[in-house]
A and B are shown apart, each in its own frame.
Chain A
Amino acid sequence: MNGVHDLGGMHGFGPVRPEANEPVFHAPWEGRVIAMRRLMGAWPGYNIDAGRHAIERLPPVDYLGFTYYQKWFQSLIDQMIASGTITPQELTSGRNAAGVPVATPPITIANVAKSIAPVGSFQRDTGANPRFTAGDTVRARNIHPEGHTRLPRYVRGHIGTIERDHGAHVLPDSNAHHQGEAPQTLYTVRFAARELWGSARNEADAVYLDLWESYLDPA
Protein backbone atom coordinates (compact mmCIF):
# COMPACT_ATOMS: atom_id res chain seq x y z
CA MET A 1 0.00 0.00 0.00
CA ASN A 2 1.14 3.54 -0.69
CA GLY A 3 1.20 4.32 3.01
CA VAL A 4 3.03 6.78 5.16
CA HIS A 5 5.26 3.92 6.31
CA ASP A 6 6.98 3.95 2.90
CA LEU A 7 9.41 6.65 3.94
CA GLY A 8 12.41 6.20 1.66
CA GLY A 9 13.41 9.49 0.01
CA MET A 10 10.96 11.74 1.88
CA HIS A 11 12.08 15.12 3.19
CA GLY A 12 11.22 17.09 6.28
CA PHE A 13 11.85 14.71 9.17
CA GLY A 14 14.91 16.59 10.35
CA PRO A 15 18.34 15.35 11.39
CA VAL A 16 18.97 11.94 12.93
CA ARG A 17 19.39 12.35 16.68
CA PRO A 18 21.20 9.45 18.33
CA GLU A 19 20.64 9.12 22.09
CA ALA A 20 23.76 8.62 24.18
CA ASN A 21 23.74 5.48 26.38
CA GLU A 22 20.28 4.51 25.19
CA PRO A 23 18.61 1.82 27.34
CA VAL A 24 17.13 -1.30 25.68
CA PHE A 25 13.68 -0.17 26.81
CA HIS A 26 12.65 3.33 27.87
CA ALA A 27 9.89 1.96 30.12
CA PRO A 28 9.05 -1.56 31.33
CA TRP A 29 5.82 -1.68 29.26
CA GLU A 30 7.85 -1.60 26.04
CA GLY A 31 9.44 -4.94 26.92
CA ARG A 32 6.02 -6.40 27.77
CA VAL A 33 4.68 -5.33 24.36
CA ILE A 34 7.50 -6.89 22.39
CA ALA A 35 7.24 -10.11 24.39
CA MET A 36 3.44 -10.28 23.92
CA ARG A 37 3.94 -9.93 20.18
CA ARG A 38 6.51 -12.73 20.14
CA LEU A 39 4.21 -15.03 22.10
CA MET A 40 1.04 -14.21 20.16
CA GLY A 41 3.03 -14.77 16.94
CA ALA A 42 3.06 -18.49 17.69
CA TRP A 43 -0.73 -18.75 17.36
CA PRO A 44 -2.23 -19.75 14.01
CA GLY A 45 -3.25 -16.72 11.98
CA TYR A 46 -0.32 -14.60 13.09
CA ASN A 47 2.75 -14.10 10.92
CA ILE A 48 5.43 -11.48 10.58
CA ASP A 49 4.05 -10.07 7.34
CA ALA A 50 0.52 -9.70 8.70
CA GLY A 51 2.06 -8.02 11.76
CA ARG A 52 3.93 -5.51 9.60
CA HIS A 53 0.82 -4.82 7.54
CA ALA A 54 -1.18 -4.16 10.72
CA ILE A 55 1.35 -1.46 11.64
CA GLU A 56 1.17 0.06 8.15
CA ARG A 57 -2.61 0.30 8.44
CA LEU A 58 -2.55 2.45 11.56
CA PRO A 59 -4.08 5.84 10.80
CA PRO A 60 -1.26 7.98 9.31
CA VAL A 61 -1.44 10.53 12.12
CA ASP A 62 -0.93 7.73 14.65
CA TYR A 63 1.82 6.11 12.59
CA LEU A 64 3.81 9.34 12.64
CA GLY A 65 2.90 10.39 16.18
CA PHE A 66 3.22 7.14 18.10
CA THR A 67 6.49 5.82 19.44
CA TYR A 68 7.69 2.53 17.98
CA TYR A 69 6.32 0.39 20.80
CA GLN A 70 3.00 2.25 20.82
CA LYS A 71 2.65 1.25 17.16
CA TRP A 72 3.42 -2.35 18.05
CA PHE A 73 0.92 -2.30 20.89
CA GLN A 74 -1.99 -0.75 18.99
CA SER A 75 -1.44 -2.94 15.90
CA LEU A 76 -1.34 -6.06 18.11
CA ILE A 77 -4.71 -5.09 19.57
CA ASP A 78 -6.06 -4.41 16.07
CA GLN A 79 -4.92 -7.85 14.90
CA MET A 80 -6.33 -9.66 17.92
CA ILE A 81 -9.71 -7.99 17.59
CA ALA A 82 -9.83 -8.52 13.80
CA SER A 83 -9.06 -12.22 14.22
CA GLY A 84 -11.51 -12.67 17.08
CA THR A 85 -8.77 -13.64 19.54
CA ILE A 86 -10.17 -11.05 21.93
CA THR A 87 -13.27 -8.88 21.81
CA PRO A 88 -13.44 -5.13 22.42
CA GLN A 89 -15.60 -5.92 25.47
CA GLU A 90 -12.87 -8.17 26.90
CA LEU A 91 -10.30 -5.46 26.23
CA THR A 92 -12.40 -2.97 28.19
CA SER A 93 -13.24 -5.31 31.06
CA GLY A 94 -9.83 -6.99 31.19
CA ARG A 95 -11.65 -10.31 31.82
CA ASN A 96 -12.24 -13.41 29.71
CA ALA A 97 -15.86 -13.35 28.50
CA ALA A 98 -18.19 -15.81 30.20
CA GLY A 99 -18.28 -19.20 28.51
CA VAL A 100 -15.01 -18.76 26.56
CA PRO A 101 -12.73 -21.73 27.33
CA VAL A 102 -9.24 -21.03 28.66
CA ALA A 103 -6.58 -21.86 26.03
CA THR A 104 -3.19 -23.54 26.43
CA PRO A 105 -0.34 -21.31 25.26
CA PRO A 106 1.87 -22.79 22.49
CA ILE A 107 4.95 -21.19 24.02
CA THR A 108 5.68 -21.76 27.68
CA ILE A 109 8.72 -21.30 29.87
CA ALA A 110 9.72 -24.84 28.82
CA ASN A 111 10.14 -24.02 25.11
CA VAL A 112 10.53 -20.25 25.11
CA ALA A 113 14.25 -20.26 24.23
CA LYS A 114 13.63 -20.90 20.55
CA SER A 115 11.13 -18.05 20.33
CA ILE A 116 13.50 -15.33 21.41
CA ALA A 117 15.21 -14.89 18.05
CA PRO A 118 12.76 -13.04 15.83
CA VAL A 119 12.46 -15.19 12.74
CA GLY A 120 13.11 -18.64 11.42
CA SER A 121 14.07 -19.21 7.83
CA PHE A 122 11.84 -17.79 5.12
CA GLN A 123 13.67 -19.63 2.37
CA ARG A 124 11.69 -22.37 0.62
CA ASP A 125 12.73 -25.10 -1.79
CA THR A 126 10.46 -24.67 -4.81
CA GLY A 127 12.65 -26.13 -7.56
CA ALA A 128 11.56 -23.23 -9.78
CA ASN A 129 14.10 -21.81 -12.22
CA PRO A 130 14.98 -18.21 -11.45
CA ARG A 131 14.01 -15.79 -14.21
CA PHE A 132 17.07 -13.59 -13.72
CA THR A 133 20.76 -14.13 -13.10
CA ALA A 134 23.45 -11.89 -11.61
CA GLY A 135 24.35 -9.08 -13.99
CA ASP A 136 20.91 -8.89 -15.65
CA THR A 137 19.38 -5.46 -16.06
CA VAL A 138 15.87 -5.19 -14.63
CA ARG A 139 13.23 -2.56 -14.08
CA ALA A 140 11.23 -2.45 -10.85
CA ARG A 141 7.58 -2.61 -11.84
CA ASN A 142 5.42 0.47 -11.63
CA ILE A 143 2.76 -1.17 -9.48
CA HIS A 144 0.68 0.21 -6.65
CA PRO A 145 -0.91 -2.67 -4.75
CA GLU A 146 -3.41 -1.61 -2.09
CA GLY A 147 -2.34 -4.50 0.14
CA HIS A 148 1.02 -5.28 1.70
CA THR A 149 4.14 -5.11 -0.45
CA ARG A 150 7.86 -4.78 0.12
CA LEU A 151 8.53 -2.86 -3.09
CA PRO A 152 9.14 0.71 -1.92
CA ARG A 153 7.81 3.57 -4.04
CA TYR A 154 11.25 5.11 -4.51
CA VAL A 155 12.46 2.29 -6.77
CA ARG A 156 9.28 1.68 -8.80
CA GLY A 157 9.92 2.27 -12.50
CA HIS A 158 13.68 2.46 -12.00
CA ILE A 159 16.38 0.37 -13.62
CA GLY A 160 18.74 -1.76 -11.58
CA THR A 161 21.09 -4.70 -11.85
CA ILE A 162 20.66 -8.16 -10.36
CA GLU A 163 23.45 -8.58 -7.84
CA ARG A 164 22.62 -11.90 -6.18
CA ASP A 165 20.02 -14.68 -6.10
CA HIS A 166 18.89 -15.74 -2.60
CA GLY A 167 16.68 -18.65 -3.67
CA ALA A 168 12.91 -18.71 -3.19
CA HIS A 169 11.53 -16.82 -0.17
CA VAL A 170 8.04 -16.46 1.27
CA LEU A 171 6.23 -13.64 -0.58
CA PRO A 172 5.03 -11.03 1.95
CA ASP A 173 2.40 -9.69 -0.48
CA SER A 174 0.56 -13.02 -0.17
CA ASN A 175 1.52 -14.16 3.33
CA ALA A 176 0.42 -10.89 4.97
CA HIS A 177 -3.11 -11.54 3.72
CA HIS A 178 -3.14 -15.21 4.80
CA GLN A 179 -3.21 -16.27 1.15
CA GLY A 180 -0.32 -18.69 1.44
CA GLU A 181 3.46 -18.38 1.35
CA ALA A 182 3.64 -18.29 -2.48
CA PRO A 183 7.48 -18.41 -2.44
CA GLN A 184 9.35 -16.66 -5.26
CA THR A 185 12.99 -16.09 -6.06
CA LEU A 186 14.42 -13.20 -4.08
CA TYR A 187 17.18 -11.09 -5.59
CA THR A 188 19.47 -8.38 -4.33
CA VAL A 189 19.09 -5.56 -6.88
CA ARG A 190 21.54 -2.67 -7.16
CA PHE A 191 20.18 0.76 -8.11
CA ALA A 192 22.70 3.51 -8.86
CA ALA A 193 22.09 6.57 -6.68
CA ARG A 194 21.97 8.69 -9.86
CA GLU A 195 19.23 6.47 -11.33
CA LEU A 196 17.09 6.99 -8.24
CA TRP A 197 17.92 10.52 -7.17
CA GLY A 198 19.41 12.35 -10.14
CA SER A 199 22.77 13.45 -11.48
CA ALA A 200 23.89 15.41 -8.43
CA ARG A 201 24.66 12.17 -6.57
CA ASN A 202 28.06 10.55 -6.37
CA GLU A 203 28.54 8.33 -9.43
CA ALA A 204 29.71 5.32 -7.40
CA ASP A 205 26.97 5.45 -4.74
CA ALA A 206 24.18 2.88 -4.87
CA VAL A 207 21.19 1.51 -2.99
CA TYR A 208 20.63 -2.24 -2.72
CA LEU A 209 17.24 -3.84 -2.06
CA ASP A 210 16.08 -7.43 -1.81
CA LEU A 211 13.19 -7.78 -4.25
CA TRP A 212 10.97 -10.69 -5.26
CA GLU A 213 10.77 -11.87 -8.86
CA SER A 214 7.24 -10.55 -9.44
CA TYR A 215 8.44 -7.04 -8.57
CA LEU A 216 10.78 -7.04 -11.58
CA ASP A 217 10.69 -6.95 -15.38
CA PRO A 218 13.60 -7.51 -17.77
CA ALA A 219 15.00 -4.20 -19.05
Chain B
Amino acid sequence: MSGEHHHDHDHDHDHGGQDIPSATALRVKALESLLVEKGLIDPAALDAIVDAYETKIGPRNGARVVAKAWTDPAYKARLMQDASSAISEIGFTGSERPHMIVVENTSETHNLVVCTLCSCYPWLVLGLPPVWYKSTAYRSRAVIDPRGVLNDFGLTLGDDVAVRVWDSTAETRYLVLPERPEGTEGMDEEALAALVTRDSMVGVAKVVAP
Protein backbone atom coordinates (compact mmCIF):
# COMPACT_ATOMS: atom_id res chain seq x y z
CA MET B 1 0.00 0.00 0.00
CA SER B 2 1.00 3.56 -0.48
CA GLY B 3 2.41 5.01 2.69
CA GLU B 4 1.98 8.37 4.22
CA HIS B 5 1.48 11.02 1.58
CA HIS B 6 2.79 14.53 1.62
CA HIS B 7 0.62 16.04 -1.05
CA ASP B 8 0.46 19.66 -1.90
CA HIS B 9 -3.04 20.91 -1.60
CA ASP B 10 -2.38 24.31 -3.07
CA HIS B 11 -3.69 23.25 -6.46
CA ASP B 12 -7.07 24.18 -7.81
CA HIS B 13 -9.57 21.36 -7.42
CA ASP B 14 -11.25 21.94 -10.72
CA HIS B 15 -11.37 18.98 -13.06
CA GLY B 16 -9.85 20.43 -16.15
CA GLY B 17 -6.19 20.09 -15.33
CA GLN B 18 -5.40 23.56 -16.62
CA ASP B 19 -4.41 25.00 -13.27
CA ILE B 20 -0.78 24.20 -12.66
CA PRO B 21 0.52 23.91 -9.10
CA SER B 22 4.06 25.21 -9.09
CA ALA B 23 4.89 23.08 -6.03
CA THR B 24 4.28 20.00 -8.15
CA ALA B 25 6.63 21.27 -10.84
CA LEU B 26 9.36 21.63 -8.22
CA ARG B 27 8.75 18.18 -6.79
CA VAL B 28 8.84 16.62 -10.26
CA LYS B 29 12.15 18.33 -10.95
CA ALA B 30 13.54 17.03 -7.64
CA LEU B 31 12.48 13.46 -8.42
CA GLU B 32 13.96 13.63 -11.90
CA SER B 33 17.30 14.82 -10.47
CA LEU B 34 17.28 12.00 -7.94
CA LEU B 35 16.53 9.30 -10.53
CA VAL B 36 19.28 10.60 -12.81
CA GLU B 37 21.78 10.72 -9.95
CA LYS B 38 20.90 7.15 -8.98
CA GLY B 39 21.46 6.01 -12.56
CA LEU B 40 17.87 4.79 -12.86
CA ILE B 41 17.03 6.89 -15.91
CA ASP B 42 18.97 8.45 -18.77
CA PRO B 43 18.13 12.17 -19.07
CA ALA B 44 18.66 12.09 -22.85
CA ALA B 45 16.14 9.25 -23.16
CA LEU B 46 13.72 11.26 -21.04
CA ASP B 47 14.04 14.26 -23.36
CA ALA B 48 13.53 11.99 -26.39
CA ILE B 49 10.29 10.58 -24.98
CA VAL B 50 8.89 14.02 -24.20
CA ASP B 51 9.81 15.18 -27.70
CA ALA B 52 8.14 12.14 -29.28
CA TYR B 53 4.89 12.81 -27.44
CA GLU B 54 4.96 16.48 -28.35
CA THR B 55 5.95 16.19 -31.99
CA LYS B 56 5.79 12.65 -33.38
CA ILE B 57 2.82 10.68 -32.12
CA GLY B 58 -0.62 12.17 -32.48
CA PRO B 59 -3.96 11.96 -34.26
CA ARG B 60 -2.43 12.61 -37.68
CA ASN B 61 -1.32 8.95 -37.61
CA GLY B 62 -4.91 7.81 -37.14
CA ALA B 63 -6.15 10.24 -39.78
CA ARG B 64 -3.85 8.60 -42.34
CA VAL B 65 -5.31 5.19 -41.49
CA VAL B 66 -8.86 6.52 -41.89
CA ALA B 67 -8.17 8.30 -45.18
CA LYS B 68 -6.53 5.20 -46.62
CA ALA B 69 -9.48 3.05 -45.53
CA TRP B 70 -11.85 5.51 -47.26
CA THR B 71 -9.98 5.43 -50.55
CA ASP B 72 -8.68 1.85 -50.73
CA PRO B 73 -11.35 -0.85 -50.24
CA ALA B 74 -8.76 -3.65 -50.03
CA TYR B 75 -6.95 -1.77 -47.26
CA LYS B 76 -10.22 -1.21 -45.43
CA ALA B 77 -10.97 -4.93 -45.59
CA ARG B 78 -7.57 -5.71 -44.05
CA LEU B 79 -8.06 -3.02 -41.42
CA MET B 80 -11.40 -4.43 -40.30
CA GLN B 81 -10.02 -7.97 -40.28
CA ASP B 82 -6.68 -7.35 -38.52
CA ALA B 83 -6.21 -3.73 -37.53
CA SER B 84 -2.80 -4.22 -35.89
CA SER B 85 -1.24 -5.50 -39.12
CA ALA B 86 -3.03 -3.03 -41.36
CA ILE B 87 -1.93 -0.11 -39.19
CA SER B 88 1.67 -1.30 -39.18
CA GLU B 89 1.56 -1.23 -43.00
CA ILE B 90 1.38 2.56 -42.69
CA GLY B 91 4.71 2.41 -40.95
CA PHE B 92 4.59 4.17 -37.59
CA THR B 93 4.41 1.24 -35.21
CA GLY B 94 8.11 0.83 -34.53
CA SER B 95 8.72 -2.53 -32.92
CA GLU B 96 5.57 -2.45 -30.81
CA ARG B 97 2.34 -4.09 -31.91
CA PRO B 98 -0.60 -3.09 -29.75
CA HIS B 99 -3.75 -5.14 -30.18
CA MET B 100 -5.79 -2.70 -32.28
CA ILE B 101 -9.44 -3.05 -33.22
CA VAL B 102 -11.24 -0.75 -35.64
CA VAL B 103 -14.99 -0.20 -35.34
CA GLU B 104 -16.87 1.42 -38.20
CA ASN B 105 -19.48 4.14 -38.00
CA THR B 106 -22.32 3.92 -40.51
CA SER B 107 -25.72 5.52 -40.95
CA GLU B 108 -27.13 2.79 -38.66
CA THR B 109 -24.38 2.40 -36.06
CA HIS B 110 -22.36 4.91 -34.05
CA ASN B 111 -19.35 3.79 -32.00
CA LEU B 112 -17.89 5.59 -29.00
CA VAL B 113 -14.68 4.68 -27.10
CA VAL B 114 -14.12 5.16 -23.36
CA CYS B 115 -12.06 3.72 -20.51
CA THR B 116 -14.20 3.79 -17.36
CA LEU B 117 -11.48 2.31 -15.09
CA CYS B 118 -8.55 4.52 -16.08
CA SER B 119 -7.62 6.23 -19.34
CA CYS B 120 -6.73 3.56 -21.92
CA TYR B 121 -6.51 5.17 -25.34
CA PRO B 122 -4.95 4.20 -28.69
CA TRP B 123 -1.74 6.26 -28.25
CA LEU B 124 -0.18 4.78 -31.35
CA VAL B 125 -2.76 6.29 -33.69
CA LEU B 126 -4.15 9.19 -31.64
CA GLY B 127 -1.29 10.31 -29.38
CA LEU B 128 -1.94 11.17 -25.75
CA PRO B 129 -5.58 11.52 -24.70
CA PRO B 130 -7.13 14.95 -24.16
CA VAL B 131 -8.13 16.03 -20.65
CA TRP B 132 -11.85 15.49 -21.32
CA TYR B 133 -11.25 11.81 -22.23
CA LYS B 134 -9.59 11.27 -18.84
CA SER B 135 -12.20 13.31 -16.92
CA THR B 136 -14.54 11.78 -14.38
CA ALA B 137 -17.45 13.32 -16.30
CA TYR B 138 -16.68 11.41 -19.50
CA ARG B 139 -15.62 8.15 -17.85
CA SER B 140 -18.71 7.96 -15.64
CA ARG B 141 -21.31 8.95 -18.22
CA ALA B 142 -20.16 7.47 -21.52
CA VAL B 143 -21.48 4.01 -20.63
CA ILE B 144 -24.79 4.97 -18.98
CA ASP B 145 -25.69 8.00 -21.12
CA PRO B 146 -23.65 7.98 -24.33
CA ARG B 147 -26.29 9.99 -26.18
CA GLY B 148 -26.11 12.69 -23.52
CA VAL B 149 -22.31 12.77 -23.79
CA LEU B 150 -22.59 13.13 -27.55
CA ASN B 151 -25.00 16.04 -26.99
CA ASP B 152 -22.25 17.73 -24.93
CA PHE B 153 -20.14 17.56 -28.08
CA GLY B 154 -22.98 18.96 -30.20
CA LEU B 155 -23.83 15.64 -31.83
CA THR B 156 -27.44 14.45 -31.61
CA LEU B 157 -28.23 11.00 -32.94
CA GLY B 158 -31.67 9.72 -33.92
CA ASP B 159 -33.33 6.74 -32.24
CA ASP B 160 -32.80 4.77 -35.45
CA VAL B 161 -29.03 4.84 -34.90
CA ALA B 162 -27.63 2.16 -32.57
CA VAL B 163 -24.97 3.44 -30.18
CA ARG B 164 -22.16 1.04 -29.33
CA VAL B 165 -19.86 2.02 -26.47
CA TRP B 166 -16.47 0.30 -26.22
CA ASP B 167 -15.11 0.29 -22.65
CA SER B 168 -11.35 -0.34 -22.94
CA THR B 169 -10.94 -2.77 -20.05
CA ALA B 170 -8.02 -4.76 -21.54
CA GLU B 171 -4.90 -4.08 -23.63
CA THR B 172 -7.03 -3.99 -26.76
CA ARG B 173 -7.25 -0.49 -28.20
CA TYR B 174 -10.18 0.84 -30.20
CA LEU B 175 -10.15 3.25 -33.12
CA VAL B 176 -13.39 4.50 -34.66
CA LEU B 177 -13.50 4.59 -38.45
CA PRO B 178 -15.79 7.58 -39.01
CA GLU B 179 -18.17 7.89 -41.95
CA ARG B 180 -16.72 9.57 -45.01
CA PRO B 181 -18.73 12.76 -45.45
CA GLU B 182 -20.73 13.41 -48.59
CA GLY B 183 -19.20 15.92 -50.95
CA THR B 184 -15.67 14.55 -50.63
CA GLU B 185 -15.80 12.24 -53.65
CA GLY B 186 -13.17 14.16 -55.59
CA MET B 187 -10.67 14.44 -52.74
CA ASP B 188 -7.45 12.43 -52.57
CA GLU B 189 -6.10 10.57 -49.54
CA GLU B 190 -3.99 13.43 -48.25
CA ALA B 191 -6.81 15.97 -48.49
CA LEU B 192 -9.16 13.55 -46.77
CA ALA B 193 -6.68 12.90 -43.95
CA ALA B 194 -6.64 16.64 -43.24
CA LEU B 195 -10.40 16.51 -42.55
CA VAL B 196 -10.25 13.67 -40.02
CA THR B 197 -10.27 14.93 -36.43
CA ARG B 198 -9.17 13.22 -33.24
CA ASP B 199 -12.69 13.50 -31.84
CA SER B 200 -14.17 11.70 -34.85
CA MET B 201 -11.81 8.75 -34.23
CA VAL B 202 -12.89 8.52 -30.56
CA GLY B 203 -16.51 8.70 -31.72
CA VAL B 204 -17.64 12.00 -30.20
CA ALA B 205 -17.89 13.82 -33.53
CA LYS B 206 -18.52 13.25 -37.20
CA VAL B 207 -16.15 14.25 -39.97
CA VAL B 208 -17.42 17.31 -41.78
CA ALA B 209 -16.83 18.08 -45.46
CA PRO B 210 -14.99 21.37 -46.12
Q: Does A90 contact B (CB under 8 A)?
A: yes
A34-B53, A109-B48 known; A166 vs B172 contact (CB < 8 Å): yes
A202's partner among B49, B57, B124, B163 (CB-CB below 8 A) is B163
Which residues of A in the span 49-86 have a Cβ within 8 Å of any Cβ on B? Answer: 52, 54-59, 62, 64-70, 73-78, 81-82, 85-86
Complex Cα gap A95–B35 (Å): 9
Complex Cα gap A119–B47 (Å): 19
Q: What sequence of 0s and 1s flags, for each residue 90-113 of chain B, a beta carbon within 8 Å of any chain A beta carbon?
A: 000111111100000000000000
B11 touches A35 (CB 8 A): no
Complex Cα gap A68–B123 (Å): 16
A40's partner among B41, B94, B168 (CB-CB below 8 A) is B41
Q: Does A129 contact B (CB under 8 A)?
A: no
Q: Does B194 contact A (CB under 8 A)?
A: no
A24-B128, A26-B20, A150-B169 known; A108 vs B42 contact (CB < 8 Å): yes
List, in ascending order, chain B residues with CB within 8 A of A135's CB: none
List, in ascending order, chain A residues with CB within 8 A of B153's CB: 16, 18
Complex Cα gap A187–B181 (Å): 33
Q: Does A98 contact B (CB under 8 A)?
A: no
B169 touches A152 (CB 8 A): yes
- Number of CB contacts from chain A to chain B under 8 A: 303
Q: What sequence of 0s and 1s flags, for each residue 170-205 of chain B, a beta carbon within 8 Å of any chain A beta carbon?
A: 111000000000000000000000000001000010
Q: Does B16 contact A (CB under 8 A)?
A: yes
A39 touches B96 (CB 8 A): no
Q: Does A99 contact B (CB under 8 A)?
A: no
A112 touches B96 (CB 8 A): no
CB distance from A71 to the nearest CB of B (A): 9
Complex Cα gap A93–B173 (Å): 41
B96 touches A120 (CB 8 A): yes
CB distance from B206 to the nearest CB of A (A): 15
B165's partner among A76, A119, A207 (CB-CB below 8 A) is A207
Q: Does B68 contact A (CB under 8 A)?
A: no
List, in ascending order, chain B residues with CB within 8 A of A104's CB: 39
B54 touches A31 (CB 8 A): yes
List, in ascending order, chain A residues with CB within 8 A of B135's CB: 13, 16-17
A39 touches B172 (CB 8 A): no
A65 touches B97 (CB 8 A): no
CB distance from A45 to the nearest CB of B (A): 12
CB distance from A212 to the nearest CB of B (A): 8
Complex Cα gap A169–B137 (Å): 30
A95 touches B34 (CB 8 A): yes
B140 touches A13 (CB 8 A): yes
B48 touches A112 (CB 8 A): yes
- If A8-B140, A13-B137, A154-B143 are given as contacts, then 20 extra A-B residue pairs at C-beta distance below 8 Å, sorted by A number, are A5-B118, A6-B116, A9-B140, A16-B149, A25-B53, A26-B18, A32-B50, A35-B53, A39-B35, A39-B49, A73-B24, A109-B45, A112-B48, A113-B94, A114-B95, A116-B56, A119-B171, A205-B147, A206-B162, A208-B165
Q: Hey, which bits of chain B sit against chain A, CB under 8 A?
A: 1-3, 5, 7, 11, 13, 15-18, 20-21, 24-25, 27-35, 37-42, 44-50, 52-54, 56-58, 93-99, 116-119, 123-124, 127-128, 130-132, 134-144, 146-147, 149, 152-153, 159, 162-172, 199, 204
- Closest A-B pairs by Cβ, 4 of them: A8-B116, A204-B162, A210-B170, A117-B96
